[in-house]
Homo-oligomer: A and B are copies of this chain.
Amino acid sequence: MRPVPSGVVLALDAGGSTTRALVLDPAGHPLGRAASGPGNPSAVGVEAALVSVREAVSQALAGAGAAVADVRSTVLASAGSDRLVPRETLIGHLGLDPGAPFRRVSDLLAMFHSAADTDTGAALVAGTGSVAARVRGGGLERVVGGNGWLLGDAGAGFWIGREVARAVTDDLDGTGAVTALTPALLAEFGLSDDRRPREGRAFVLGEIVDLVHAAEPVRLARLAPACFTAAAAGDSVATAIVAAAQEELAVLVRAVEGPGPLVVGGGVWRRSAQGPLAPGLRAALTGRTVLPAEDGLLGAASLALRALGLPTAPLRALRGTGRPA
């Protein structure tokens, strides 16, 4: 056995809404944790992302009573941002030892390792977007979905929110069924239910269309929780949207079938798993070992320890205890 090194290891999960940092001792025990703002350059730009990452690192190290010079190994998990920030820029920006192992991995791969103890299996994330991957030999063998809100991400938060808004416009112009999603959307948008005709359509319908097109499209994802709530209360339009979303997720699950566990995560996944699953998704999951993961932080920690040849078993105790930050 190699001697256990001194110092600490650093795990980072830089997401589109939150950046998480975890500092561990070489035996895999957590010493410090922190969270900051968005750390994904493609979501908020390079400058803002670097600020978030540095803030999380500083706070987690402070909590651990450690300095940046003590970091022996770093793994940063993020989605598709590797083209935007050169590795050397990140290392320099954080003040890390250029000679210590530093690895960037996809957020999918990190999430897989957050819950799985093998190098073979699959992962599915359904949050604002949706994406799945087959993992083999510790790398991404095949990625499906995740093509962004305009083309892909079917069955995830933006997709559900857009279906909600469409169902409401169909309700208001009479081409679709009456649904509880309409009052829910009006409440979310702060609009009163004024259906007096104006140039051949309900006044409030024009207001909704204007508001939706004036905002960032991906903001429609905020309507997804109302859809799950309305479905749970028995609204048939909302129930159909949730079922259609799960059938879309089933396509991703089937596309990454194979040996090993399926690690699942993301807010839409968690919300879906609370209710009855649609037949296609239930069938796609049959016979598979499904392991839930909160995010990629524990996986990044596991990979950071492995980069030094250190055991990762102590991390298992941290699983399923909620987000470690």
What residues of chain A have their CB less than 8 Å away from a CB belonging to chain B?
106, 133-134, 139-145, 147-152, 162, 165-166, 169, 173-175, 199-201, 205, 209, 212-213, 217, 220, 251-252, 255
Instruction: Collect the chain B residues with CB atoms within 8 Å of residue A212's CB.
Output: 148, 150-151
CA distance A133 to B106 in the complex (A): 49
A contacts with B: majority SS: mixed
| Nearest CB of B to A179, in Å | 15
Q: CA of A210 to CA of B149 in the docked complex: distance in angstroms?
A: 12
Q: What's the nearest-Cβ distance from chain B to residue A301, in Å?
A: 21
> What is the distance, in angstroms, from A107's C-beta to the closest C-beta of chain B?
11
Asked whether, in the complex, the Cβ of A148 is within 8 Å of the Cβ of B200, the reply is no
Count of identical protomers in the assembly = 2
Write out the residue numbers on chain B whose beta carbons fall within 8 Å of the beta carbon of A165.
150-151
> Do residues B173 and A143 form an inter-chain contact, with CB atoms below 8 A?
yes
The chain B residue sitting closest to A215, CB to CB, is B150
A199-B140, A255-B175 known; A148 and B209 CB under 8 Å? yes
Q: Which chain B residues lie closer than 8 Å to A166 at the CB level? A: 147, 151-152
A252 to B173, CA, bound (A): 11
Would you call B143 and A217 a contact (CB within 8 A)?
no
Can you name 15 extra interface pairs (CB under 8 A) apart from A150-B213, A151-B166, A175-B252? A106-B200, A141-B200, A142-B201, A143-B199, A144-B175, A144-B201, A147-B166, A148-B212, A148-B213, A150-B217, A151-B162, A151-B209, A152-B169, A152-B209, A174-B255
CA distance A201 to B162 in the complex (A): 26
| B-chain residues with CB within 8 Å of residue A144 when the two chains form the complex | 173-175, 201
- Inter-chain contact B151/A200, CB cutoff 8 Å: no
Residues of B contacting A140 in the complex (Cβ-Cβ under 8 angstroms): 199-200
Across-interface contacts of A151 in B (CB, < 8 A):
162, 165-166, 169, 209, 212
Q: Is the CB of B255 within 8 A of A142?
A: no
Complex: chain B residue closest to A133, CB-CB: B200
On whether the beta carbons of B143 and A200 are closer than 8 Å, the reply is yes
How distant is the Cα of A144 from the Cα of B199 in the complex, in angstroms?
Answer: 11
Inter-chain contacts of A213 with B (CB < 8 A): 148-150
Residues of B within 8 A of A255 (CB): 173-175
CA distance A162 to B148 in the complex (A): 12
CB pair A162–B175 under 8 Å, yes or no, is no
Q: Which of A147, A150, A200, A209 has the most CB of B within 10 A?
A: A200
Assembled-state Cα–Cα distance A212/B217 (Å) = 14
